[in-house]
């Protein structure tokens, strides 16, 4: 297995992209960086392909799962991201899992489309899961703690965040979830829904798991109540489209706190990339420290 890159940046991932495309027989010249976060996403040109590069080989099993989930959803006829036809997926390139996806020409869903997200999640949660599909149990905090350890933030922040994770694990273990377990998306925000000629397409399967659908529903609810990204009318349309409002459940406050720390630690990995990200990290970590969202969170 190749040695991992020590820095995950636009520069280092560009080199990984070139090697991955060479292995897959695809062109890398002219590729554009779409996003750099938990993964680096590149759109190729002229072939309609998106290349997804994970941060380290720690995510290999997740990449394998993404491929399996995509194939299962395609078999079920569920409207979701589709794999591009290459000989082998995922590929290991310079210590990074790499997968290839068909480019979706439509736009990312907007806040006014949040009811469509609610409907898509209901359909996903109702799918029968074959025994052949191996899924982990949901563990929202499993990626949070490694992010804290590796992120370039003060040790005082790291200690506080890890202590909060420990508290939340205890609270989650003692919750009584009202909904039956099923397959869940695991990162069900509006940015993971695209519209292709009006057809909703669910994307990003790295956090798909077996567990309580409350986790998916509480994502949008946290974005509404903590981040301030939704109007009351928009959130109501989401809950009505799904058929249940998770905020009415007493356990929601624990799920909300978990999503807050997940959203914060996702961002803190890149605090040294720009002043805007660093400032937003301060806003979010202040919310976690005080329990009060005194201003809207900025989406990245």
Task: Give the C-alpha separation, 254 to 65, whole Å.
Answer: 27
Q: Identify the band that residue 221 occupies on the pLDDT scale cut at 50, 70 and 90.
A: very high
Helices (H) and strands (E) in the chain, counts: 9, 9
Instruction: Say what percent of the chain tops pLDDT 90.
Output: 86
Work out the average pLDDT over 178-194. 95
Task: Give the C-alpha separation, 87 to 292, whole Å.
Answer: 50
Q: Residue 63: pLDDT above 50? A: yes
Please name which of 249, 255, 246, 247 lies closest in space to residue 171, comparing C-alpha atoms. Answer: 255
Helices in 77-125 by DSSP H: which ranges? 114-125
Q: Residue 3: pLDDT above 80? A: no
Q: Please give the mean pLDDT across all residues of the chain.
A: 94
Domains present along the chain, CATH in parentheses: 10-102 (3.30.200.20), 111-290 (3.90.1200.10)
Work out the average pLDDT over 245-270. 96
- Across the chain, where does the E strand assignment appear? 32-36, 39-43, 49-54, 91-93, 96-102, 182-184, 193-196, 199-202, 209-211
Task: Give the C-alpha separation, 4 to 150, whole Å.
Answer: 14
Under 8 Å between Cβ of 153 and 271: yes
- Reduced DSSP (H G I as helix, E B as strand, rest coil) percent helix, strand, coil of the chain, to 5: 50, 15, 40
Please name which of 89, 94, 103, 124 lies closest in space to residue 215, comparing C-alpha atoms. Answer: 124
Work out the average pLDDT over 225-236. 96
Residue 289: predicted pLDDT: 95
Residue 6: predicted pLDDT: 62
């Amino acid at each position: 297995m190749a040695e991992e890159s020590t820095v995950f940046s636009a520069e280092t991932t560009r080199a990984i992209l070139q090697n991955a495309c060479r292995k897959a027989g695809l062109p890398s010249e002219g590729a554009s960086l779409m996003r750099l976060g938990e993964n680096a996403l590149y759109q190729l040109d002229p072939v309609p392909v998106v290349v997804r590069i994970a941060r380290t080989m720690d995510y290999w099993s997740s990449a394998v799962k993404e491929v399996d989930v995509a194939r299962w959803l395609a078999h079920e006829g569920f409207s979701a991201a589709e794999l591009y036809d290459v000989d082998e997926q995922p590929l290991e390139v310079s210590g990074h899992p790499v997968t290839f996806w068909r480019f979706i020409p439509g736009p990312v869903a907007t806040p006014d489309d949040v009811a469509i997200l609610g409907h898509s999640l209901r359909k996903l949660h109702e799918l029968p899961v074959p025994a052949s599909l191996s899924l982990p149990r949901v563990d929202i905090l499993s990626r949070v703690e490694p992010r804290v350890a590796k992120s370039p933030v003060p040790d005082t922040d790291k200690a506080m965040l890890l202590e909060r994770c420990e508290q939340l694990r205890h609270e989650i273990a003692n919750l009584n979830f009202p909904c039956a377990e099923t397959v869940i998306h695991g990162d069900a925000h509006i940015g993971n829904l695209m519209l292709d000629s009006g057809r909703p397409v669910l994307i990003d399967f790295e956090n798909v798991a077996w567990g309580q659908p409350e986790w998916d529903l509480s994502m949008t609810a946290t974005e509404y109540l903590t981040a301030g990204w939704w109007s009351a009318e928009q959130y109501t349309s989401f809950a009505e489209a799904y058929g249940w409002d998770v905020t009415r459940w007493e356990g929601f406050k624990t799920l909300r706190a978990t999503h807050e720390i997940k959203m914060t630690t996702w961002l803190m990995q890149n605090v040294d990339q720009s002043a805007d990200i660093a400032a937003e990290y301060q806003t979010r970590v202040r919310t976690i420290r005080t329990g009060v969202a005194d201003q809207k969170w900025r989406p990245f």
